[in-house]
Amino acid sequence: MNENIEQAYKDIELCIYHFIYGGECEFLVRNNIELIENLISGLNTSIDEKGVEKVFNSAVAQKWDQKAEYVTYYGVKNPITEEVMYQASNGLKIADIGCGTGKILQKLDNKFLDCNLTGLDISSDMISVAQARNFTGRNNITLVNNDFMEYDFKDYYDIIIFSYVLHHMDNPIEALKKAKDMLTERGKILFSVPRKAYLSEVFCDDKAIGRFSIEEMDNIVMSAGLYPLKASRNRFMMSFNSYEMFLKYLQSIGTYQKIMGYTNQSWSKEFSAEILKKFDSTSFITGEYLTYNCENLQRKLRRK
C-alpha cells in the first residue's frame, strides 16, 4: 500500500484516465491494490446497503453506548431493560433481536448463569461492537449479523426481546408473528417502541417516523396473535446543558437519517436551524415508550 495517500489517489486518477483513454496502468494498480479494493467496497456498500444500516452505521455504532453522556434523564429511561432483567432467570434461552451493541446481552450475562443468549442485528457495525464486549463465559453467547426476517432460527426461546427495534422494521406485525413462532410453550416477547410523544417538542408527528399510539400498538399485538400480559406507557424527561449536546445526542441515535427516510444524507444547516428554534423554546424534551410483555394468544387460550 502506498504510504502517501495523496499520491495513491493521483495514481488511481491516472489509472482511470488510462482506462478511459487507453494506456499502461498495471504497475500503478499493483502499488495501490488495497486502496483500490477499499474504494470499490466503499462504493458497493453505499449502493447496496439496506436503509436501516444507513442509520446504524459505524459512526452511530461507535457512539451508541455513550449517548447518555449528552443528556440528563428524569424518570425510568429504559423500561424494557428493567422488564427483561425482571423476567429472566438462570438457564433460559433468550434472543435479543436488533441487539445493537449488545448492552442487554451483557447485563444478562453479568447477572445469570447457563443461559443461551442469542443476539442478532442487521447492522454489521452494531454487531461488531457487540462482538468486542467482554462476556463472562458463564453463558453461551451467539451473535449473528442478519436481517431478522431473513434468518432461519433453529431454536425456540423463553424470552425474545425487541428493544427499540420494531419501529425500524418494514412490517412489525410479520416480525412479531415470526417471533411468536419461535417461542417455547410459556415463552414471552418483550418489546419497547417510542410512543407518539417521543421528542415531540422538536419533531412533529409527520416528521418523526416510527412512533406508535397505544391503539396502533394494541392492534399490531392483536394482529400478530399475541396476548399482552403487561403493557405500560413510560414517560421520562430529558434536559440538555447546551444545544450542542442536544445535537450530539440526536446524531448519536441516527435521528436525522431516520427522519430523512433511512437515507445517507448528511446533517443539513437548515435542519439544525429548525431544531435550534424549537430547542430554544423548551426546557425539557419528552421521552416516551410503550413497553409490552406478550405471549402467544392461542397457547394462553388452550391452557385455560
Ligand X SMILES: C[S@@+](CC[C@H](N)C(=O)[O-])C[C@H]1O[C@@H](n2cnc3c(N)ncnc32)[C@H](O)[C@@H]1O
The residue among 36 and 209 lying less far from ligand X, judged by its C-beta, is 209
d(CA 72, CA 240): 6
Using the rule CB under 6 A, give the single segment among 17-25, 160-168, 204-212, 284-292 that binds ligand X. 160-168
d(CA 249, CA 251): 5
Instruction: Read off φ and ψ for residue 120, nearest 5 degrees.
Output: -130, 135
* Binding residue for ligand X, selected from 28, 56, 143, 234, defined by CB under 6 A: 56
- The upper half-sphere exposure of residue 152, i.e. CA atoms within 13 Å in the direction of its Cβ, equals 0
Question: How many CB atoms within 10 Å of residue 35?
Answer: 17
Site map 33..52 versus ligand X, x via CB under 6 A: -------------------x
Site map 86..125 versus ligand X, x via CB under 6 A: ------------xxx--x----------------xxxx--
Q: Are 28 and 11 in contact (CB under 8 A)?
A: yes
Q: Are 168 and 55 in contact (CB under 8 A)?
A: yes
* Binding residue for ligand X, selected from 57, 163, 200, 291, defined by CB under 6 A: 163
Using the rule CB under 6 A, give the single segment among 86-94, 131-139, 163-171, 290-298 that binds ligand X. 163-171
The residue type of 192 is: S
d(CA 104, CA 82): 10
* Binding residue for ligand X, selected from 54, 63, 93, 168, defined by CB under 6 A: 168
CB of 163 to ligand X, least distance (A): 3
- Contacts with ligand X: how many residues (CB under 6 A)? 19
Q: Is 164 in the site for ligand X (CB under 6 A)?
A: yes
What is the DSSP-derived secondary structure letter of residue 214?
A: H
The residue among 15 and 179 lying less far from ligand X, judged by its C-beta, is 179
d(CA 295, CA 172): 16
By CB under 6 A, name the binding residues for ligand X: 52, 56, 98-100, 103, 120-123, 126, 147-149, 163-165, 168-169
